[in-house]
Amino acid sequence: MAAQTILFDFTLDTLKTADAKQRQEVVKIVRNELEHVFPQLELAYQLSMEDGYFAVLEENKDTIITCRIFQQGLLTINVEYYLADGKEPLMSFDTMRTMELILRQKLDSDRSKYLPPIKRGGYIDIYMTSSDERIIEYDIDSLVYEARSPFQKIQIMHSKTLGNMLILDELQNIAESDLIYTETLMGRGIENYEGKEICILGGGDGALLYELLKEKPKHVVMLEIDELVMQACNKYLNSICGDVLEKRKTDQYEIVVGDCVEYMKKFIAEGRKFDYVFGDLTDIPISGAPIGECWDFIRTILEHSFMLLKPDGKYLTHGNGTTCLESLELFEEQLRLLKPKVKFTTSKAFVPSFMEEWLFYQVTFA
Amino acid sequence: MAAQTILFDFTLDTLKTADAKQRQEVVKIVRNELEHVFPQLELAYQLSMEDGYFAVLEENKDTIITCRIFQQGLLTINVEYYLADGKEPLMSFDTMRTMELILRQKLDSDRSKYLPPIKRGGYIDIYMTSSDERIIEYDIDSLVYEARSPFQKIQIMHSKTLGNMLILDELQNIAESDLIYTETLMGRGIENYEGKEICILGGGDGALLYELLKEKPKHVVMLEIDELVMQACNKYLNSICGDVLEKRKTDQYEIVVGDCVEYMKKFIAEGRKFDYVFGDLTDIPISGAPIGECWDFIRTILEHSFMLLKPDGKYLTHGNGTTCLESLELFEEQLRLLKPKVKFTTSKAFVPSFMEEWLFYQVTFA
């Protein structure tokens, strides 16, 4: 089940929106066109303002259309109705396009636009927001798995082109399409992992562990808190994690289920050191100030990670969308505060399932 | 200038939407929460229906909020107001998120959602529709170039992460981020172009010509109708077309400005043959039947292309989004109708600026 909201916009000459009489002319043209699609349309309510106009039109109390004129030279039309499963939409793409073209012409509009119908209240959420607050509709066609662990809401959704996607607390994490994410995080072809000792913080989807093991490291230890995430990924993300989540311990690697900070403290106490530490945990928050629980966690992770690194070791982690300059700057500020001092380089990649370009950090002792 | 439309959805227990009294309770909760953000909110209009409820609320006749309850268990709230350039939005992301969370709790809603504000009537159109009719908001921050040629509307827009984008008649064609598009179209690493004779139909952005020339072909002839597209790309898409559009003729290549069908006929009459012909023209239409001008053009192109190919030659072209099965099937049907018979393989790539996976064809004589 879902309601459909269809949005049309037309820019208008401000002469057409300047006074009440002109605005009535515009409304007449709009009503006339809408009636071709909705023949039983009736005017339910109108509100004349000094600087604009608003009306509610309805057909059989099923379809409700609001129509607003802004004196700045803009007309918006919102069509909303309930579309039961399996029913044909009231407006096809052809109908929308035709209405847009005719109204653009009749209203002498310079720029006009209609958006694909927005589906509201459906069982599967197909809209996600990019790190820089853009709306992106995914071609998700099924919810494969859903569960709530003690730590988060876990969903595996299937996208027609991206394959299975891991979504944690409504945030897209990784999809079958995203080998580039893992390869950029680990700097494939740049870093040499052969014979190295590696620690992964987080990484519950298994993709990083799977790719690292191909590079013949001496040993990898992975500290992941959420058993359920690993079970879900082992079942539904095989193409990116292979069978590494099947076993928790082999000669090559060990997966420890628990709080990574606790285990880092334990390793530090034991004097255990690594060539590489990977921060594959929560994203950097998109917030205006480096305060709150989440930033405290990031600082704790960074401080402990560098205590685990050999002098020539590297800390590798993901940042945020490359357009989130403020958030990235805050993260880099945290890096600059570390003692002993560190230096860093960055790399970036367009990650298909994020539908945006992402920044990655390579941090070493200065 | 732009109006902002903010859409909230809440699924409700159908007990809460079943009768008028219950629905009034829902409305009361909603109004109460909205008033925290819009303290002067007034009820302007309400429409009680047998199976639902609709109301218009307004603040100072500036912000108009519609609120609709569907008996199927859904509440939609649409907030719309005019946001002048440089002004702060009335609802920040934090405000939206807080309102969503509080209402979700107070309404005991299973699923709720708000979309990033939809910007309407802005000078730059930042919303594009994918081949399978999904809405995608781009991080476009400027219109670099706009002109109308005798053939089409040409725009170069700048995206923060995709670089400059070529948009023809409102359709995204190629961006600086899209080397993968050209490489998949030409099958880099699979095809051997050394010493070969090549004909490009279209290709006005110059990217294909630029990449092909790196592979040391004997000669490339490119047939492009739109001089203005080439001028725009030469100026603004250098990173993908290099300097190939600077000159129209060298020892290695020739760019002919004109109708490719005319020139194909001329080449056929001269008995000229190629190792490769590239169809880098208009996209395959997303239509229900292979009829109309556009499909006639596709058939003409295909028929003439194969008359230009050597017996072991190849016709390489782009298809459509991989989810547009119907449209791809129609194209393949046209291929099957060709005489002499042809056979084909396909390849695919996720094209960053399309924000979707695209299909490419490699066609040879059967």
Q: What is the ipTM of this complex?
A: 0.88
Q: What are the CA-CA distances from residue A344 to residues A23, A333, B103 (Å)? A: 59, 12, 43
Of B82, B129, B160, the CB nearest to A116: B129
Catalytic entry in A178, A275, A280, A283: A280
CB contact under 8 A, A136 and B136: yes
Of A196, A157, A195, the closest CA to residue A177 belongs to A157
Q: Tell me the three-class secondary structure of chain A, residue by residue.
A: CEEEEEEEEEECCHHHHCCHHHHHHHHHHHHHHHHHHCCCCEEEEEEEECCEEEEEEEECCCEEEEEEEECCCEEEEEEEEEECCCCCCCCCHHHHHHHHHHHHHHCCCCCEEECCCEEECCCCCCEEECCCCCEEECCEEEEEEEEECCCCEEEEEEECCCEEEEEECCEEEEECCCHHHHHHHHCCCCCCCCCCEEEEEECCCCHHHHHHHCCCCCEEEEEECCHHHHHHHHHHCHHHHCCCCCCCECCCEEEEECCHHHHHHHHHHHCCCEEEEEEECCCCCCCCCCCCHHHHHHHHHHHHHHHHEEEEEEEEEEEEECCCHHHHHHHHHHHHHCCCCEEEEEEEEEEHHHCEEEEEEEEEEC
Question: Average pLDDT, stretch A52-76?
Answer: 96
Neighbour order of strands in the sheet with A171-175: A140-148, A153-159, A163-168, A171-175
Residue A266, both tokens: 């334990």
- The DSSP call for residue B106 is H
Q: What are the CA-CA distances from residue A300 to residues A227, A271, A297 (Å)? A: 22, 18, 5
Question: Average pLDDT, stretch A144-172?
Answer: 93
Q: Contact at 8 Å (CB) between B208 and B200?
A: yes
Of A10, A64, A121, the CB nearest to B11: A121
> With 0-12 CB in 10 A as exposed, 13-18 as middle and 19+ as buried, what is B106?
middle
CB contact under 8 A, B355 and A160: no
pLDDT tens for each residue of B158-213: 999 899 999 998 889 999 999 999 999 999 999 999 999 999 999 999 999 999 99
Q: Which residues of A touch B56 (CB under 8 A)?
A: 45, 47, 54, 56, 66
Q: Contact at 8 Å (CB) between A27 and A13?
A: no
The full set of domain ranges for chain A reads: 2-120, 127-174, 175-365
Check whether A309 has a pLDDT greater than 90.
yes
The more confidently predicted of residues A332 and A170 is A332
Residue A195, both tokens: 């014979």
Note the pLDDT of residue A284: 61
Of A318, A322, A335, A323, the closest CA to residue A284 belongs to A318
- Give A50's pLDDT tier (boundaries 50, 70, 90): confident
Distance (Å) from the alpha carbon of B179 to chain A's nearest alpha carbon: 12
Q: What are the CA-CA distances from residue B344 to residues A133, A338, B261, B361 (Å)? A: 41, 58, 23, 7
- Report the CATH number of the B175-365 domain: 3.40.50.150
Rounded Cα gap, residues A24 and A26, in angstroms: 5
Note the pLDDT of residue B286: 56
Rounded Cα gap, residues B101 and B344, in angstroms: 53
Q: Contact at 8 Å (CB) between B245 and B234?
A: yes
Q: What are the CA-CA distances from residue B98 to residues A314, B74, B80, B112, B199 (Å)? A: 39, 19, 18, 12, 58
B positions 169-208 inside 8 Å of A (CB) = 177
- Give B269's pLDDT tier (boundaries 50, 70, 90): very high
Distance (Å) from the alpha carbon of A295 to chain B's nearest alpha carbon: 17
Check whether A293 has a pLDDT greater than 90.
no
Check whether B293 has a pLDDT greater than 80.
no
Q: Catalytic residue at B280?
A: yes
Give the chain B residue nearest A2 (alpha carbons): B74
Question: Average pLDDT, stretch B330-335?
Answer: 94
A positions 50-109 inside 8 Å of B (CB) = 50-52, 54, 56, 58, 61, 64, 66, 68, 70, 72-74, 76, 78, 80, 82, 84, 93
Rounded Cα gap, residues A99 and A83, in angstroms: 20
Note the pLDDT of residue A303: 94
Question: Average pLDDT, stretch A234-246?
Answer: 97
Buried b (16+ CB within 10 A) or exposed e, A102-120: ebbeebebeebbbbbbbbb
Best CATH choice for the domain B2-120 from the list 1.10.3210.10, 3.30.160.110, 3.40.50.720, 3.20.20.70: 3.30.160.110
Mean of per-residue pLDDT scores for chain A: 94
Give the chain A residue nearest B359 (alpha carbons): A161
Give the chain B residue nearest A178 (alpha carbons): B350
Count of helices and strands (H, E) across chain B: 10, 20
Of A66, A138, A139, the CB nearest to B66: A66
Of A237, A257, A208, A226, the closest CA to residue A145 belongs to A237
Pick from A235-239, B122-126, B247-251, B287-291: least confident:
B287-291
Distance (Å) from the alpha carbon of B177 to chain A's nearest alpha carbon: 9
Question: Average pLDDT, stretch A49-62?
Answer: 92
Residue B120, both tokens: 């309407």
CB contact under 8 A, B160 and A133: no
What region, left, alpha or beta, does residue A267 occupy, with left being phi > 0 and alpha being psi -120 to 50 degrees?
alpha
Q: Contact at 8 Å (CB) between B168 and B247?
A: no
CB contact under 8 A, B82 and A70: yes
Note the pLDDT of residue A18: 87
Buried b (16+ CB within 10 A) or exposed e, A186-215: bbbeebebeebbbbbbbbbbbbbbbbbbeb
- Give B283's pLDDT tier (boundaries 50, 70, 90): low
Catalytic entry in B205, B275, B280, B283: B280
Check whether A285 has a pLDDT greater than 80.
no
Residue B189, both tokens: 């690493």
Note the pLDDT of residue A278: 98
Question: Average pLDDT, stretch A231-253?
Answer: 97
Q: How many residues does chain B have?
A: 366
Note the pLDDT of residue B50: 82
Note the pLDDT of residue B294: 80
Of A64, A139, A323, the CB nearest to B134: A139
Of B88, B236, B93, the closest CA to residue B154 belongs to B236
> Using N-to-C axis directions, what is the helix angle for B93-106 and B20-37, rounded to 10°?
150
CB contact under 8 A, A137 and B132: no
pLDDT tens for each residue of B54-93: 999 999 989 999 999 999 999 999 999 999 988 999 999 9
| Domain B127-174 classification at class level | mainly beta
Rounded Cα gap, residues B251 and B237, in angstroms: 23
Q: Which residues of B touch A124 (CB under 8 A)?
A: none
Check whether A296 has a pLDDT greater than 90.
no
Q: Which residues of A touch B67 (CB under 8 A)?
A: none
Q: What are phi and psi of A18, to 5 degrees?
A: -70, -40
Q: Contact at 8 Å (CB) between B361 and B319?
A: yes
CB contact under 8 A, A7 and B3: no
Pick from A15-19, A106-110, A309-313: least confident:
A15-19
Rounded Cα gap, residues A144 and A137, in angstroms: 18
Note the pLDDT of residue A169: 87
pTM exceeding the 0.90 threshold for the entire prediction: no
- Give B287's pLDDT tier (boundaries 50, 70, 90): low
